[in-house]
Structure 1
Amino acid sequence: MTATDFLYITFPVSGVKTWVFLPPLTAFVVSFFASMGGLSGAFLLLPFQMSVLHYTAPSVSGTNQLFNIVAIPSGVWRYAKEKRMVWPLTGAVVIGTLPGVVIGAWLRVAYLPDPKNFKFFAGLVLLYVGSKLLTDICRKQATEQQGNTVLHHAAFAVTDSKFSLQRAEFSFAGQHYAFSVPKIFLLCLVVGIIGGIYGIGGGAIIAPFMVAFFQLPVHAVAGAALMGTFITSVAGVLVYQLLSGFYPGMSVAPDWQLGFLFGIGGFCGMYLGARCQKHVPAKAIKLILCFFVLIAAFSYIIAYLN
């Protein structure tokens, strides 16, 4: 046994064998960039766990959501401190995605236990999210210029929030925004189901939809999307833990040790990402996310076809 052998460990629940510093380091890098766009980074950590760590059991989804619970609070706290939380949007995201995540978790265990089929499904989800990000990047020049001028406005905070069952409004950096509450709710319900299956809490893929379809500013929706991901991930972990009692012969319950190790790195990365976000142009944030999402999507789909 060498002096470094104690750093290479086996996690008894999942059976994963890896260097103890690899999960938090990976989570830190991924969360730093992803949190700028309102994503926790879980949607990128899942392919890492499945392809690099060879963790393909259904419990990987619950472990991914456990990462969200540990990592997200630092980013949400930073966005709230800087008054960049759109609370009406946060409420709509949570209410819509919460029931969807519960349904999605059940579908994952009951109908998608095969790793190969799950990889293909995950690839399609990532491809769709990536294509929407790419579409948003390629929008007309006037919209891009508007997104970049936000960075230089003095009032870089969310103000004048108004909410009703039909419509919500807010102001951000000198611009006024509004969205339909019923439409947001229905969208979040569908995304919540997908997120529950995929193990990302639902809110994690809300941000690209908010920007692409509702023309909301990426710098303002990030905090709301992360808060939605946190709340729904709590429900997701509880559901996977509960379902483990009904599927005793299957690895369903989260790997708590591995999830917390990922979460420690994500906690640090998400705080720094949220703090640095306002200094990064919107187009740059979208390009970073789009690159990683599409790379992961194509790798999953190609692996399934081969």
Structure 2
Amino acid sequence: MYFPTAGIECHPFFPFCVAIGVSFVTSMGGVSGAFLLLPFQMSFLGYTNPSVSATNQFFNVLSCPAGVWRYWREGRLVWPLTATVAIGTLPGVFAGAFIRINWLPDPARFKIFTGLVLLYVGGKMLWDLRGKEHASIAETNAQHVERSFYAGQKNGVETAVQSNACTRLVWNSRTFIFDFQNQEFAVPCRRLALLSLVVGLVGGVYGIGGGAIMAPFLVSLFGLPVYAVAGATLFATFLTSVAGVNFYSLLAPLYPGIAVAPDWRMGLLLGLGGMMGMYMGARCQKYVPARVLKYLLAGILLFTAARYLGQTL
């Protein structure tokens, strides 16, 4: 099949299957998988023009809702956290799209910066995990609570275990405090909004939605649990990707000599595959210990950082 905007030709089954596999693994850590599909499109498919960023965001638009719906159904979608991340990310997405088209049609230099950021976050997560060889008692109890909750669901009983849901305690312009699995967590809203702005800038340039960077920051810097973060980052990624796709499409007529708008065929194949992978990953996340998910996130980040830096240095 020929993809006119991308200017490439490949079997449609190939990107579809890759999207399923990538999304299944990454969605368990609250990441859409777009940050891995971007180097896949550029390196394996030869899709290198600026519209690859918009296509990648279109993948998020199609694939994220399946995972978000699953997290919402299970009571693990923290709305104040989602709103704060989305509000901070949106301006960065617009600025990133403008930078991508005008100053970074060849993203080699920016890949160095992104690779260093991902290398730092992934390395910090691994350092923190290595310093804690044994899981905490609270985390172990949380695992038992979740298993009991889903055991009830398997029997056809939609039980509501109070400690499994996120409960908002305080939310204002300064801080957000919520209770999750009998533990209290506090998030400084202004710091989170500023971080989201930077993440949105990076996400707007590369079309990764920002979840790949935001989820590890929330886990490592803010000390939030992966189980509570995953739904929020996926939903924020969806919102910012919708804005990003529309912004790229609006800018396309202004740059007739450059492919800016998404390749809708490629985006549809990746999005449908991602939709299936996202749902399966969100469904299976509860069976994987939080510690394993943190290692998974760190490993994915370090792999991506090595990939970016290896291509540019």
Tell me the TM-score normalized by structure 2.
Answer: 0.89
Counterpart position of 2:46: 54
Q: Quick one: distance in 2 between partners of 1:183 and 1:213?
A: 11
Counterpart position of 2:126: 134
1:92 corresponds to 2:84: yes
Q: Counterpart of 1:169 in 2: which secondary structure?
A: strand
> Structure 1: which amino acid aligns with 2:129?
I
Aligned-pair CA distance for 1:128? 3.6
Question: Where in structure 2 are the equivalents of 1:263-278 lying within 5 Å?
Answer: 263-278=271-286
Q: 1:25 to 1:144 in 2, by over 3 A?
A: farther
> Mean alpha-carbon deviation: is it higher for 150-159 or for 249-258?
150-159
Aligned-pair CA distance for 1:74? 0.4
> Structure 2: which amino acid aligns with 1:190?
V
> Structure 2: which amino acid aligns with 1:109?
I
Aligned-pair CA distance for 1:244? 1.4
Question: Where in structure 2 are the equivalents of 1:175-190 lying within 5 Å?
Answer: 175-190=183-198
> Structure 2: which amino acid aligns with 1:93?
V
Provide, for residues 135-175 of structure 1, a one-character-per-residue CA deviation record: whole Å limited to 9, x for no partner: 34334346655444421225322124431111111111111
Q: Quick one: distance in 2 between partners of 1:218 and 1:36?
A: 9
Counterpart position of 1:195: 203
How many residue pairs match? The answer is 297
Provide, for residues 229-264 of structure 1, a one-character-per-residue CA deviation record: whole Å limited to 9, x for no partner: 000001111111122122111111111110110000
Counterpart position of 1:286: 294
Question: Where in structure 2 are the equivalents of 1:166-181 lying within 5 Å?
Answer: 166-181=174-189
1:88–1:162 CA contact under 8 A, matched in 2? no
**CA-atom RMSD, angstroms?**
1.8
Q: 1:92 to 1:264 in 2, by over 3 A?
A: same
1:122–1:198 CA contact under 8 A, matched in 2? no
Question: Where in structure 2 are the equivalents of 1:13-162 lying within 5 Å?
Answer: 13-141=5-133, 146-153=138-145, 155-162=163-170
Q: Counterpart of 1:153 in 2: which secondary structure?
A: helix
Q: Quick one: distance in 1 between partners of 2:261 and 2:211?
A: 21
Aligned-pair CA distance for 1:22? 1.0
2:32–2:211 CA contact under 8 A, matched in 1? no
Provide, for residues 205-233 of structure 1, a one-character-per-residue CA deviation record: whole Å limited to 9, x for no partner: 21100000110000111000001000000
Provide, for residues 52-101 of structure 1, a one-character-per-residue CA deviation record: whole Å limited to 9, x for no partner: 11111111110000000000000000000000011110110110001111
Q: Quick one: distance in 2 between partners of 1:232 and 1:53?
A: 25
Q: Quick one: distance in 2 between partners of 1:43 and 1:91?
A: 22
Q: Quick one: distance in 2 between partners of 1:136 and 1:262?
A: 34
2:118–2:301 CA contact under 8 A, matched in 1? yes
Q: Percent identity?
A: 54
2:251–2:260 CA contact under 8 A, matched in 1? yes
Q: Counterpart of 1:244 in 2: which secondary structure?
A: helix
Question: Where in structure 2 are the equivalents of 1:175-254 lying within 5 Å?
Answer: 175-254=183-262
Tell me the TM-score normalized by structure 1.
Answer: 0.91
> Structure 1: which amino acid aligns with 2:78?
V
Q: Quick one: distance in 2 between partners of 1:121 and 1:250?
A: 24
2:178–2:184 CA contact under 8 A, matched in 1? yes
Q: Which runs of 5+ in 2 are unaligned?
A: 147-162
> Mean alpha-carbon deviation: is it higher for 82-91 or for 108-117?
108-117
After the TM superposition, which segments of 4 or more aligned residues of structure 1 sit over 6 Å from their partners? none
Counterpart position of 1:6: none
